[in-house]
Structure 1
Amino acid sequence: MTKPQKLLWLALIGLAIFLFWWRLPASLEQVEIQGQTMGTYYVVKLVVTNADEIDADAIKLKIDERLIDLNRSMSTYDPESELSRFNQQSSTDAVVISNQLAFVLDEAIRLGELTDGALDVTVGPLVNLWGFGPEGRPEQVPSAEQISDARRRIGLDKIELSGGGLRKFNDDVYVDLSAIAKGYGVDEISDLVTRLGFDNSMVDIGGELRVKGHNRNRKSWRVAIEKPVTTERAVQQIVEVSNLGMATSGDYRNYFEQDGQRFSHTIDPASAKPIAHKLVSVTVLHPSSMTADGIATALMVMGDEQGLAWAESIELPVYMIIKTDDGFAAKYTQSMAQYLVQ
């Protein structure tokens, strides 16, 4: 290539770069939509070029319709939901269920097997017994006899999901998807706003998240991992993510105390009791918020030593906060380090 040709080529490249940046909007804006679902809040953030051109009310209507549909399918607080009707029936025959309920159950069963039972969506009788389900808190700590009776009803071997539908092998089996359904809701709303034409978004349902693309500053989204204290809202760590789901499980807000002892809402299926170790918060990153949600619960059950080793074995980005005599300590997997903002 001759010198004049090189100069012409460089000039054309420079012009192309100039035109590219010139065509970009000077700044981006953010539309925020809020509401209530699943007993908590939701926030959807959409990055747009002109917020005045966005019909936020119409988008919120579509979001609410989808979330109402999910609740009608999977809520254990709604006695008429698809899942509640299955729990209430005494028949052990297979029941045809919706595709979305089957999808979530299939992932819950897969994660239950993957975590050797640490995630168990049949643990509902124990959750209710200890007062963290729709039935409310008991007046006293359950007796050994009550715990033994509830244990008889739990286990993934008590249900079967197949082409014929969902069946239970005991008539009093109770399925509770609260450890994974919220994450599924996040995934569904994230995909919904993408179908509506928004490639850059953040969806947050009660602290479970999924982000796509970039924020209004054209950078990866920055999300806070909360410090596990009940006296204030404080930041433990900032993570920078894009095109990922993020879920946090912790026992520092949902618990009760009796006779000086603290009882976590996270139930260990193996012991049939609330967890008693010092792991207080787990954050998991995964392309699916649903999967991250389920794994975060499983890791809370495992505890920091077993849980961290398990997460390292599958190269999963995980951040843990452990209670110490002096406050809190953090542990995280090697694959999480790249997302932490120093």
Structure 2
Amino acid sequence: MTSAAKRNLKLTLGAALLLLAVGCLQPPAQIEISGRTMGTTYSVKFFPPTNDFDPTGLQQEIDRRLVEINQQMSTYIPDSELSRFNQSKAGDWFPVSTELAEVVSLAKQINHDSDGAFDVTVGPMVNLWNFGPDHHPEKIPSDEAIAAALANIGDDKLEVRLDPPALKKSVDGLYVDLSAIAKGYGVDKIAELLLELNRRSFMVEIGGEVRAGGTKPNGAPWRIAIEKPIPGARSIQEIVELSQLSLATSGDYRKFFEANGQTFSHTIDPKTGKPLAHTLASVSVLHADCASSDALATTLMVLGPDQGYNWAEEQELAVLFLIRGKDGPVVRRTSLWPNSGD
């Protein structure tokens, strides 16, 4: 072999080794696992330890845990723990899982902090207004029906203990609905699973409620879109960068019905027993855990644009309020929101 040929061979081998080394340094590609849960969809994105990582076992465990949470907290499953408690009589402690007791305990704490704006006992009113599992034709309930349902509503009618875990009601008609906190709790539980498996870079989403862990291998945070509060349309209001944070949004522009020329939101004010009637269209909350983000977003929707803003400031919450202006455009107002100058 000539010296020139040897030189070319060395260059070719060197280039091949360089490409191989670069290939070995490339981080594994992102994996996405998705499915259905809690009447909506879920998505889990993460970066595996190696490119040949098989996510099958992980998806099975995610699905198993989500089924377990549903069996604990769903009002749509007749024999779930929560459904059986809702069907039970008042007076005695009703044994439940630690998870269900923890969620109810958190809900009661937020109820206390918000002076009753967040109330998981509002279930009878949710059903009465056609937004629960007991679906009926869309119509406005009578004042008499609202008054009757209000008699069974109130956080003071619900007790919880953590050891041993149990719930108690003081009226037979008490009906607990955890739809404003359970999705966020499910996000937290799947995030905890990923952390147990040493997956530090991830994004978990259930029905729009999100939690992100770490950053991507290139150091970039996870980027999450917040929608404009426009019924029947999908467009982006803004992008939020998440790392070690949760994000939840509550609004009146997706789930509602129209009757007698009026629009009725699915979020019920527990004090009046009626859908919200203010100008706040959407609330997004950043928090360490997603269960709190989920519940706080609903709380602030109930409180409204002014009282909600003042409460967010008092509680030092990071919140984005989208408020309908008098002439139509949405007005943006923030409390400790990133990149907002607060």
What residue number does 1:181 align with?
182
Quote how far apart the aligned CAs of 1:25 are: 3.2
Q: Distance in 2 between matches of 1:209 and 1:137?
A: 31
TM-score normalised according to structure 2 size: 0.89
Q: After alignment, is 163-172 or 189-198 more displaced? A: 163-172
Alignment partner of 1:332 out of 327, 331, 334:
334
Query: What's the counterpart of residue 30 of structure 1?
Result: 30
Compute the displacement of 1:144 (Å): 0.4
**Unmatched runs of 5 consecutive residues or more in structure 1:** 1-21
Write the deviation string for residues 66-100 of structure 1: whole angstroms up to 9, x where unpaired.
00000000000001000000000124211111100
Q: What's the CA shift for 1:28?
A: 4.6
Partner of 2:80: 81
Q: Which residue of 1 aligns with 2:251?
A: 250
Shift >4 Å, 4+ stretches: none
3-state secondary structure, aligned to 2:223: strand
Deviation at 1:231, TM superposition (A): 3.2
| 1:150-165 paired onto structure 2 within 5 Å | 150-162=149-161, 163=163, 165=166
Cα distance between partner residues in 2 of 1:75 and 1:238:
31
Structure 2 residue matching 1:170: 3-state secondary structure: coil
Q: CA deviation at 1:139?
A: 4.3
State the Cα deviation string for residues 168-198 of structure 1 (Å, max 9, x = none): 0001110111110100000000111111221
The residue number in structure 1 matching 2:58 is: 59
SS for the counterpart of 1:175 is coil
Question: What letter corresponds to residue 92 of structure 1 in structure 2?
Answer: G
CA-to-aligned-CA distance 1:207-263 (integer Å, 9 cap, x gap): 000000012432111111111113321110111120011111111010000111000
Opposite residue 228 of structure 1, the aligned amino acid is P
Note if contact 2:93-2:167 (Cα within 8 Å) is conserved in structure 1: yes
Structure 2 partner of 1:320: 321
Structure 1 match to 2:10: none
* Distance in 1 separating the partners of 2:138 and 2:67: 32
Distance 1:123 1:58 in 2: 38
Code of the aligned partner of 1:145: E
How well do the aligned residues superpose, as a CA RMSD in angstroms?
1.7
Taking the aligned partners of 1:57 and 1:102, their CA distance within structure 2 comes to 31
Preserved contact between residue 33 and residue 44 of structure 1 (Cα < 8 Å): yes
For 2:26, the aligned partner's letter is A
Contact 1:281 1:321 in 2 (8 A): yes
User: In 1, are the aligned partners of 2:118 and 2:295 still within 8 Å (CA)?
Assistant: yes
Q: Deviations over 1:90-141 (max 9, x none)?
A: 2421111110001101000000111111000000000000000000144421
**TM alignment of 1:292-311, pairs within 5 A:** 292-311=293-312
Question: Which residue of the partner structure matches residue 41 of structure 1?
Answer: 41
Give TM-score scaled by structure 1 length.
0.89
Q: Secondary structure at the match of 1:337?
A: coil
Return the alpha-carbon distance in structure 1 between the equivalents of residues 231 and 55 of structure 2.
33
C-alpha distance in 2 between matches for 1:236 and 1:227: 5
- Cα distance in structure 2, aligned partners of 1:97 and 1:209: 27
**Structure possessing the higher radius of gyration over alpha carbons:** 2
In the TM superposition, residue 27 of structure 1 has moved relative to its aligned partner by 4.0
**1:26 positional shift:** 3.5
Cross-structure match for 1:3: none
Where 2:63 maps in the other structure, the secondary structure is helix
Distance 1:279 1:302 in 2: 9
> Alpha-carbon deviation of 1:49?
5.2
Query: Would the alpha carbon gap of residues 87 and 332 (structure 1) be closer, same or farther in structure 2, given more than 3 Å must change?
Result: same
CA distance in 2, matches of 1:113, 1:75: 23
1:286 and 1:317 in contact (8 A); partners too: yes
In structure 2, how many angstroms separate the alpha carbons of the residues matched to 1:217 and 1:230? 36
The percent identity for this pair of structures is 48
Residue 236 (structure 2) aligns with: 235
1:49 to 1:195, Cα distance in 2 relative to 1, 3 A: closer
Please state if 1:262 is matched with 2:263.
Answer: yes
Residue 5 of structure 1 corresponds to which residue in structure 2? none
Q: Take 1:245 and 1:272, find their aligned partners in 2: how far apart are those partners?
A: 30
- The unaligned stretches of length 5 or more in structure 2 are 1-21
